[in-house]
Amino acid sequence: QKEVEQDPGPLSVPEGAIVSLNCTYSNSAFQYFMWYRQYSRKGPELLMYTYSSGNKEDGRFTAQVDKSSKYISLFIRDSQPSDSATYLCAIPNQAGTALIFGKGTTLSVSS
């Protein structure tokens, strides 16, 4: 089993929809979880990070961690065409020396 699994999509939604993006991970020792957004032909940019279980909200974005299920989610409310990008979950390895990325989910929001 890969350390971080993410459904690559693509995911297509109409403007205004609520989007749910998900990753699972295998190592229960992971403590720190991140979501990056990557526009086409650009580097990833950090969207959100969280240390613990529960929800963290930032504007239209909510990151959720369920450590008991080893499941992390990113919710986007009122999705906009500008949200069209690839979303990567990332978890630092136990040594903290590398980020383990999911493959990314490509999201397309149509107006």
Partner 1 sequence: DAMVIQNPRYQVTQFGKPVTLSCSQTLNHNVMYWYQQKSSQAPKLLFHYYDKDFNNEADTPDNFQSRRPNTSFCFLDIRSPGLGDAAMYLCATSPRVQETQYFGPGTRLLVL
User: Does position 18 bind partner 1 by CB under 8 A?
Assistant: no
Kindly determine how many residues on this chain lie close enough to bind partner 1 according to the rule CB under 8 A: 23
Angle at 10 between CA 7 and CA 16, to 5 degrees: 110
User: Does position 95 bind partner 1 by CB under 8 A?
Assistant: yes
Q: Exposure of 72 by Cβ count < 10 A (0-12 exposed, 13-18 middle, 19+ buried)?
A: buried
Measured CA to CA, the distance from residue 54 to residue 105 in angstroms comes to: 22
User: Does position 41 bind partner 1 by CB under 8 A?
Assistant: yes
- Judged by CB under 8 A, the stretch of 52-60, 61-69, 77-85, 88-96 that binds partner 1 is 88-96
Q: How far is the CB of 8 from partner 1 (least distance, A)?
A: 7
For the record, the structure tokens of 97 come out as 């020396």
Binds partner 1 (CB under 8 A): choice among 35, 36, 83, 87: 36
